[in-house]
Structure 1
Amino acid sequence: MVAKKTPLYDEHVKLGGKIVDYAGWFLPVQYEGLIPEHEAVRNAAGLFDVSHMGEIVVKGKDALAYLQYLLTNDIASIETDQIIYTFMCYPDGGVVDDFLVYKYSEEEYLLVVNAANTDKDFKWMIDNKKDFNIIIENKSDQIGEVAIQGPKSEKILQKLTDTDLSSIKPFHFNRKVNISGIECMVSRTGYTGEDGFEVYSPAEGIVKIWNDILEAGKEDGIKPTGLGCRDTLRFEAGMPLYGNEISKDITPLEGGLKFFVKLDKEEDFIGKEALNKQWKEGLTRKVAGFELLERGIPREGYEVYKEGKKIGHVTTGYMSPTLKKSIGNALIDINEIELGNEVDVMIRNRPVKAKIISRKFLKK
């Protein structure tokens, strides 16, 4: 299958982006380089093309009841124009996907899902529609999306709109923000651990918005940013990646994300029974943070040992651009996750000493 192009593909090529096939999409992994792009987001601002993300609308009089049945978090706890992070699970507690739910009204919600999972998610939602009085629509091809992230994001984006962006609080959104003469939905969300906004527009308007944001942010040091630093930024901020810290084989509880699984909500949800059982019986493994005590760079899939016995594997690992240390996450035996515990990460068949640390790598 040939990879798809977002509406911004030609802009990435013009800017010298190094294009890769990611989740079935041609996207820039970097432009200038991972480190300068990462640092731009931490210190000024970066602009990401996230038009590949999936957008699925659920509407109808049973919309809330359906989402409560489908998802692990308590969707009834949010107000109109508010956003919540959640998981959609299989009956065995494994994760179908993790995503944000935007509440338009009591009877209409937007789910912004991972690009690689869009078709799978949509099918899962249709297959589990039951008798709920709802309509489920995949709007992904109609919507363009960019994310401006970093401490100068508000200052830069404010130049392009009359809407007071400071009025949009974290995990809230405004559906009627005029940016560059185009009506957009703007949310104060992102995947970097920095302040920032995600801008949704009709697909045909996103090129103008992209170019106008880069122009507006020139003096403030904005850079176009690729998938490479998106991963290092989210990882430093302690955010999970589907397929790494959570997956069909790794439950949200094992991923250390119980806060987003409301086992005490009245409604039964898909996977609740299995997750409840897992929690009550006690986890046997969990994702923990670690720091290498010797030279080396940990990579996804590397095995972790304790006293010669395999206890797990690395889910994400990097030389952190911000901390200048080799750190990672690993899914390991629950008895080995105590802070300060020393383990060995196998790097090129050589055991490299590491110690368990908090996954909150960034002190923000």
Structure 2
Amino acid sequence: MNVMSVFETPFERSGVVTPGLPVLPPGVERHPVPGGGSRAVEIYRGDEITIQDREGLQPVEMVFFAPDGRSDAAMIGAKGGRDPKGLKAALIRDPSGRRVVRALEVAGFDLGKADGSLVFAEGSRAGDFAAFIAGQDGLLIVCAAGEPMEPHAQWAPTEVVLYVRRANPALAKAGNQPPDPLADPLRDDNIRPGQAVAYEVKAGQYIQILDVQGRECSDFQAFSLRALDKGLEREIDPTTTRSLMGSLYPMPGLHAKYFSVDHEPLIEIVQDTVGRHDTFGLSCTARYYEDLGYPGHINCSDNINVELAKWGIRPRGGWPAINYFFNTLLDDTHAIGMDDPWSRPGDYVLVRALTDLLCVSTACPCDIDPANGWNPTDIQLRVYDKNEDFKRSIGWRKTPGADLEETKKTGFHDCFARHTRNFVEYNGYWLAADMTNHGAIAEYWAAREKAVVMDLSPLRKYEVTGPDAEALMQLCVTRDIKKLPVGGIVYTAMCYPHGGMIDDGTVFRLGDTNFRWIGGNDQSGLWLRKQAQERQMNAWVRTSTDHHCNIAVQGPLSRDILKEVIWTPPAQASVEELGWFRLTIGRLHGFDGPAVVVSRTGYSGELGYEVFCHPKDAEAVFDAVWKVGEPMGMVPLGLKALDMLRIEAGLIFAGSEFDDETDPMEAGIGFAVPLKSKTDDFIGREALEARKASPQKRLVGLEVLGGIVPTAGDCVHVGKPQIGVVTSAVKSPVLGKVIALARLSVTHAEIGTEVEVGRLDGDQKRLKARVVPFPHFDPTKERVKGNY
């Protein structure tokens, strides 16, 4: 039994690698099992079963039922005799359990008589696997067992993956079959390449357009039936839609609608797992193929004409359409180009009809360019009833080949939803952009003068534990972790070997061998785990983001608010005693209250704290803080105001002040790289020493004249040559001037240097500016230290 041959590998052909199209060996099925959740899979005699622990230390419960209802772990070669308590709890608690319950009910199996077995009972490392062979047909249930994690703990249930190699490959589900419907569909059609389907949809119903194989364009158009009844052809107009929504293509959220030329909203986007579609909106036409030397080539516009003729709609030479999954681009000369679509197998868009519609969908037949990755494939079309409850979501993947995750609500989402409907997607979560009855400016001033509360739950949390935990952190971050005391926090950078930054973040030390990494993206946590695996270190790195949600309470009154809310035991520091970059473990109100971790940290440049709790306690934590804070003038704060605060305070942001080509010195956080005092080696040290000895770029502050706020990425010039770029800019309310952060050549980075920010083409419009010290506001950080 060659276990290693069951795992997926990136698709590769002639030197072209596409990680987003993973390939499974023939006859192998892959079934992810979420942490704390379960999965039921039909098994046949002789099937090879492999369970892989993705992150380590995840116990797995298994139950196997024969067709006659008997349960015996020996039927798959496992050791039984265990009550599957974790599985029973998961079926009640986790949404994935509902499908398992249905499978058990259909088969008539009694879980109370199940012979459970435990996989990885002695503990496991990331990537470990266990293998079994089925001795007969039956139903296998796999559970990644585990209870919700408390904020002061360091173990949370995580995903495992079940692989099944079928003894009879003909019984294996092909890797890219249409996934299960989102609900019971009213219609479920497979559209083959070169086909189109027209169909009517009632107001409120949902339409799912799904790319089965990946990299396939699907044209979509919808007509108002009310207008058609009047003899008017009023379909989705791309130009009107983009003008009203302010976006090339609507996305889930406030700006989600598609309009006709009469400004009638026709559909709205509810879910989109891709987020990248066509920019210009014309289905492929006969003329396109003719001009390339392919007369008579089947095309979407002609197919649409044939289908719509049944409703008496006049034909057109080329149909404006929403080209879902198609990837067009504009180059610097404004020429239109194309490349492979962004969609991966199973990607989809889900839209809701806002009125009665006549719709048409296609599977594009183009096989002469990258429009469909040179290989036209099928599209699945599904329509669902208006009574279904589909949440707004934008697809998120930790890595190109990772499983799709829907946009999540944080534990505090409903609390902030009392104050706003303007939520935007941020790294896989919904966060408030601003508050309905306040707005960014009012929220900003509340942070400067009183207090604010904001949701920072999407920050990525990873638990780093084990005898080598300190050694792993010392290897992977720039700060000297050996000097970090228990209860201490340090801000640091994490770098690749060439010196470019993976992320910035904070390290919490909860014990001698217990650390928590909190960063902005998953790449940092995955990098930590990769190093532990490759170097065979006795340490585990496990994600806990969804088990730790956190609000930041920031502003001059933050201490006064939290001291009324947080109780700490005698051995822990109180809120009033808590020092800068220190943490304390406490409870809400008193000894019996929900557990919280409070850190004196923030991202506002003001005195402030963060409060971490489990999602189940989030509402109670928010309400307690709000009850004390609201009478004192505290308001909720969204991302727009947060950006103002952090730019004024000179706090950097991924993708703006740094990326994987930027080192910490160039990003303005050279203080986080103590090359002299940290004598131990760490990843990137050699490169950083060379970069520091011969610096090329430096992050500086700018004051910009003229009242125009530059855009991130605007070029910075001295005369004709470009000498840098703007990374972030804002009109500072407290300073009353436009300020910016910019990365400039060190030859022009001295305080007082006169520069110009280029607009339009960089030459036709210039904003005068000069280099000034940063942070622009409170440069000595007296406010964040509480020294008012």
TM over 0.5: yes
Match of 1:361 among 764, 773, 776: 776
State the distance in 1 between where 2:723 and 2:589 align: 51
Residue 176 of structure 1 is matched in structure 2 by 586
State the distance in 2 between where 1:165 and 1:143 align: 20
Q: SS of the residue aligned with 1:360?
A: coil
State the distance in 1 between where 2:432 and 2:684 align: 36
State the distance in 2 between where 1:16 and 1:178 align: 26
Match of 1:42 among 448, 453, 457: 448
Cα deviation, 1:261-320, whole Å, max 9, x if unaligned, reads: 12232221111111111112x111111110012231112111111011111110000101
State the distance in 2 between where 1:188 and 1:143 align: 16
TM-score, normalization by structure 1: 0.96
Check if 1:287 corresponds to 2:699.
Answer: yes
Q: 2:443·2:636 contact (CA, 8 Å) conserved in 1?
A: yes
State the distance in 2 between where 1:206 and 1:179 align: 14
State the distance in 1 between where 2:663 and 2:746 align: 14
Q: 1:69·1:268 contact (CA, 8 Å) conserved in 2?
A: yes
State the distance in 2 between where 1:178 and 1:220 align: 19
Check if 1:165 corresponds to 2:575.
Answer: yes
Cα-Cα RMSD: 1.4
Check if 1:146 corresponds to 2:561.
Answer: no
Runs of 4+ in 1 over 4 A off after TM superposition: none
State the distance in 2 between where 1:173 and 1:267 align: 26
Name the amino acid aligned to 2:469: A
Q: 1:291·1:355 contact (CA, 8 Å) conserved in 2?
A: yes
Q: CA deviation at 1:107?
A: 0.6
Residue 351 of structure 1 is matched in structure 2 by 766
Q: CA deviation at 1:132?
A: 1.5
Match of 1:111 among 495, 511, 517: 517
Match of 2:736 among 324, 330, 337: 324
Cα deviation, 1:12-66, whole Å, max 9, x if unaligned, reads: 2221241111222111011021110011011000000111111111111111111
State the distance in 2 between where 1:162 and 1:220 align: 20
State the distance in 2 between where 1:121 and 1:257 align: 17
Q: 2:566·2:586 contact (CA, 8 Å) conserved in 1?
A: no
Check if 1:60 corresponds to 2:475.
Answer: no
Q: What are the equivalent positions in structure 2 for 1:177-216 lying under 5 Å apart?
A: 177-179=587-589, 181-216=593-628
State the distance in 2 between where 1:301 and 1:246 align: 12
State the distance in 2 between where 1:70 and 1:315 align: 26
Q: 2:709·2:738 contact (CA, 8 Å) conserved in 1?
A: yes
State the distance in 1 between where 2:529 and 2:512 align: 20
Residue 224 of structure 1 is matched in structure 2 by 636
Number of residue pairs matched by the alignment: 360
Match of 2:425 among 5, 15, 21: 21
Q: CA deviation at 1:166?
A: 1.1
Residue 5 of structure 1 is matched in structure 2 by 409
State the distance in 1 between where 2:502 and 2:768 align: 34
Q: CA deviation at 1:247?
A: 1.4
Residue 679 of structure 2 is matched in structure 1 by 266
Residue 128 of structure 1 is matched in structure 2 by 531
TM-score, normalization by structure 2: 0.45
Residue 275 of structure 1 is matched in structure 2 by 688
Residue 666 of structure 2 is matched in structure 1 by 254
State the distance in 2 between where 1:160 and 1:253 align: 39
Q: SS of the residue aligned with 1:301?
A: coil
Q: CA deviation at 1:113?
A: 1.3
Name the amino acid aligned to 1:49: D
State the distance in 2 between where 1:128 and 1:262 align: 22
Q: 1:153·1:197 contact (CA, 8 Å) conserved in 2?
A: yes
Q: 2:454·2:636 contact (CA, 8 Å) conserved in 1?
A: yes
Extract unaligned runs of 5+ from structure 1: none
Q: 1:290·1:354 contact (CA, 8 Å) conserved in 2?
A: yes
Name the amino acid aligned to 1:338: E
State the distance in 1 between where 2:668 and 2:609 align: 26
Cα deviation, 1:212-260, whole Å, max 9, x if unaligned, reads: 2112112210001111111111111111112111211111011122111
State the distance in 2 between where 1:162 and 1:256 align: 37
Q: 1:144·1:205 contact (CA, 8 Å) conserved in 2?
A: no
Structure with greater contact order relative to length (CA < 8 Å, sep ≥ 6)? 1
State the distance in 2 between where 1:45 and 1:350 align: 40
State the distance in 2 between where 1:249 and 1:322 align: 33
Q: 1:238·1:361 contact (CA, 8 Å) conserved in 2?
A: yes
Name the amino acid aligned to 1:174: T
State the distance in 1 between where 2:563 and 2:429 align: 30
Q: 1:344·1:353 contact (CA, 8 Å) conserved in 2?
A: yes
**Fraction of identical pairs, as percent:** 31
Q: SS of the residue aligned with 2:642?
A: helix
Check if 1:156 corresponds to 2:565.
Answer: no
Extract unaligned runs of 5+ from structure 2: 1-394, 396-405, 569-573, 783-788
State the distance in 2 between where 1:320 and 1:261 align: 29
Name the amino acid aligned to 1:73: R
Name the amino acid aligned to 2:756: D
Match of 1:305 among 699, 709, 717: 717
Q: SS of the residue aligned with 2:618?
A: helix
Residue 7 of structure 2 is matched in structure 1 by none
Q: CA deviation at 1:9?
A: 2.0
State the distance in 1 between where 2:752 and 2:553 align: 36
Q: 1:214·1:224 contact (CA, 8 Å) conserved in 2?
A: no
Deviates more, 1:347-356 or 1:307-316: 347-356
Q: 2:472·2:528 contact (CA, 8 Å) conserved in 1?
A: no
State the distance in 2 between where 1:127 and 1:11 align: 37
State the distance in 2 between where 1:298 and 1:9 align: 32
State the distance in 1 between where 2:455 and 2:549 align: 9
Residue 91 of structure 2 is matched in structure 1 by none
Residue 476 of structure 2 is matched in structure 1 by 70
State the distance in 1 between where 2:431 and 2:490 align: 27
Name the amino acid aligned to 1:276: E
State the distance in 2 between where 1:273 and 1:28 align: 41
Name the amino acid aligned to 2:550: E
